[in-house]
Structure 1
């Protein structure tokens, strides 16, 4: 192949190859994507400028690749065939880095963690950014609540079609603002006017953790990249923690799903990382075997313009809470607490329990998992407990910090229930890496719904995806039992250089 950028087919799949100047051979970067390979041309040229042959492919059934689009089903075999093809090319030096973000990270990971006997198909290193590990991980929280808005948006945009319409859900919601409230949720395709046979099948996936379990036996280097404001943050961390290869690196910034292109409100100048350059430098060291063994990396401390070593973890510190409202409230799925609205009604009947801390007397550096423990009951045998942590700044702004949703029995559980501790239970709100300013107050909201980010629990015992009726649920919280525990660094942290940690 003499052209620096050429289109070809591999096993019938549309593939672009972008080569560096010179005669080669070169190490290769393989990106397999459902989001249109032509959108990666600038990225491919960037890899080529840095001495890599960039191979970008439309996955089966998407854009220029023929076949049927079946999310998460064909990527191992198709990726393996492409890796074997790369190694047969005259411009290839036999070394491959599988790379990708979101669904493309899934494609890279299943190739890296494929059958042990198929060594010719396995890459030599993997870059997984904001990884969508599998259908179960993307569709549900660990305790079961369905991630409705994110999945409806993805399926409306990309599901069961060869091309994409990124604004499909937004346009449908503009025409019908109550679109996601219609029952049953399996009827969403009809309301969208789309043929989406895979939508109902998505919710049958409940087994989480397959890729992290296989990652424990990985034999190659990993670079995992994520954002603290991404809905796959916990999966990115789980991948890094369980990776069994010779080295694992983590870069976790104050970003959303778009990484550095989607900074959060706590991002600062030091958090503007040129990811392409960092990826290329890491790839060269990974392929040369020059990375220090073990797990290293960097995480951003939002609101402080600092980077910390990835292993940094705060010490658990409970914060006193003052109850404000709603020790007894009604979780009514016909009027659910909204995930997209931080306004708090205080009239009757109450729709959530509210508690607040005193203003922080000094800044707190919070790094690690936030937990809320409480004693509470529901009068229905099937209930979700949604807990939202909000920062109330001295300037009068409300900023969402973290959310956790736990699905459990509404009645007090028996002593064998692992979530029960002295009659209470714990809701994990995920990880924070944030400096909280002096004068900030923290508000805890305990509710029965977090809609439309999560599907409404119907309180009938039916599956929320197929339920056709809804019941209100009376909740009672013991305000004296509610404990907010933050992982607080005991002293001002020592900053690090993220490039140094990634490339060490």
Structure 2
């Protein structure tokens, strides 16, 4: 049985009860808005302790509503949190860099609540994977399991910069996030200015580099400062060694907990996913697994990427069931069989019909394989330069 197979362990035995915008205090007094989803019966929260599954996001925690209720129905407290400075949370947003301490404080606060068994698991993709690695780099005592999906190892070396060369998509990311900022939501004129800037983002890209005060980002100074900082720090200095920019500098002190790294062959975090798996597999006792499918960023579990189809085998029928199996095993101690599977499951692309007459889709096909380590045995490195 593979880690990627969808085996439901905890059955849906509860209803879900939600408490919105619980303001969780941080060490510096800033409060983060957190939605808590509780197992319930007859419209009342169940008065017992449960493990907690946590996701932290800059993209509005309300997007996790369906997932939160799904986990609560299966005997977990699910915590969805807006990161500092986004949506309902207090403070000033500065992307990625400072997420480590905030995540650490969140894990430890949750662990001390009367509804928690003291075991916290984390899950999320992209930014929501980066915040997992950031808090794990500081090794909070009550972190018990992780599922980072499409997460960084070192943003300087890949994904934000490529061995130093800036990916301009992150420059444009500053404009996108500013247009959806808490500040913009509170001020229609500011919202209009930032929306127009994002709609014209390619003009700002052509005029790169950004100079302080010369774009509408000046209206949200922390967003402007972040865009300038990732542009100006061209060498691998201390700026890039902050926990929020990837766990590479912290592997030796990183939390030693069961971790499932998930990546895609068409993702910009492929290198990072493999590096994290390899490096963390060398350290500690916490089982480390990797699932690598033929997916693009944000397309985990799909059957195709662009015009290419990997049917019939590539698709995952139920992502939440995959996550549930991991958390059931490590947070609840259920016998899910994970201790009997190989730690790596990866998709080998190819073998399909290819171009089919009158079809816009390339039937590329493929199959799943497993192995104990990466790279797989009998692998031949092939340079393409």
| TM-score, structure 2 normalization | 0.71
Flag the structure with higher strand content: 1
Matched with 2:161 is 140
- Alpha-carbon distance in 2 for matches of 1:169, 1:266: 38
1:306 pairs with 367, 370, 383, which one? 367
Moved over 6 A (4+): 168-171
State the Cα deviation string for residues 325-345 of structure 1 (Å, max 9, x = none).
xxxxxxxxxxxxxxxxxxxxx
Matched with 1:237 is 274
2:383 pairs with 328, 351, 371, which one? 371
Q: Post-superposition shift, 1:138? A: 3.5
2:56 pairs with 32, 36, 46, which one? 32
Q: 5 Å matches for 1:422-501? A: none
Aligned partners of 2:175 and 2:197 also within 8 Å: no
Q: Post-superposition shift, 1:194? A: 5.3
| TM-score, structure 1 normalization | 0.56
- Alpha-carbon distance in 1 for matches of 2:121, 2:182: 27
Say what the alpha-carbon RMSD is for the aligned residues.
Answer: 3.3
Q: Post-superposition shift, 1:251? A: 1.0
- Alpha-carbon distance in 2 for matches of 1:254, 1:164: 37
Which runs of 5 or more structure 2 residues have no equivalent in the other structure? 1-14, 26-30, 41-45, 186-192, 350-363
Matched with 1:284 is 328
Secondary structure of 1:23's counterpart equals coil
Which runs of 5 or more structure 1 residues have no equivalent in the other structure? 317-368, 374-504
Aligned partners of 1:299 and 1:308 also within 8 Å: yes
In the superposition, relative to structure 1, how do residues 230 and 3 fare at CA in structure 2: closer, same or farther (>3 Å)? closer
Aligned partners of 2:147 and 2:259 also within 8 Å: yes
Flag the structure with higher helix content: 2
Aligned partners of 1:248 and 1:294 also within 8 Å: no
* Greater RCO structure (CA 8 Å; 6+ sep): 2
In the superposition, relative to structure 1, how do residues 45 and 153 fare at CA in structure 2: closer, same or farther (>3 Å)? farther
Aligned partners of 2:314 and 2:366 also within 8 Å: yes
Q: Post-superposition shift, 1:193? A: 5.8
Q: 5 Å matches for 1:372-387? A: 372-373=384-385
- Alpha-carbon distance in 1 for matches of 2:151, 2:19: 28
Q: Post-superposition shift, 1:180? A: 2.2
In the superposition, relative to structure 1, how do residues 308 and 221 fare at CA in structure 2: closer, same or farther (>3 Å)? same
Matched with 1:250 is 290
In the superposition, relative to structure 1, how do residues 193 and 77 fare at CA in structure 2: closer, same or farther (>3 Å)? closer
Secondary structure of 2:384's counterpart equals strand
Q: Post-superposition shift, 1:80? A: 2.0
Aligned partners of 1:135 and 1:202 also within 8 Å: no
Aligned partners of 1:213 and 1:242 also within 8 Å: no
- Alpha-carbon distance in 1 for matches of 2:213, 2:348: 41
State the Cα deviation string for residues 455-482 of structure 1 (Å, max 9, x = none).
xxxxxxxxxxxxxxxxxxxxxxxxxxxx
- Alpha-carbon distance in 1 for matches of 2:177, 2:234: 18
Q: Post-superposition shift, 1:370? A: 5.0
- Alpha-carbon distance in 1 for matches of 2:195, 2:69: 33
Between the two proteins, the alignment pairs up a number of residues equal to: 313
Aligned partners of 1:44 and 1:54 also within 8 Å: yes
Q: 5 Å matches for 1:93-242? A: 93-115=117-139, 118-119=140-141, 122-133=142-153, 135-136=155-156, 137-142=158-163, 144-148=164-168, 150-159=169-178, 161-162=181-182, 175=200, 178-182=203-207, 184-187=208-211, 190-191=214-215, 195=219, 196-203=224-231, 204=233, 206-207=235-236, 211-217=247-253, 218-242=255-279
Q: Does 1:68 align with 2:80?
A: no
Q: Post-superposition shift, 1:177? A: 5.2
Secondary structure of 2:247's counterpart equals helix
- Alpha-carbon distance in 1 for matches of 2:348, 2:213: 41
Q: Post-superposition shift, 1:147? A: 0.8
State the Cα deviation string for residues 146-197 of structure 1 (Å, max 9, x = none).
211x2123211115943789xx999758657554222x42249845665412
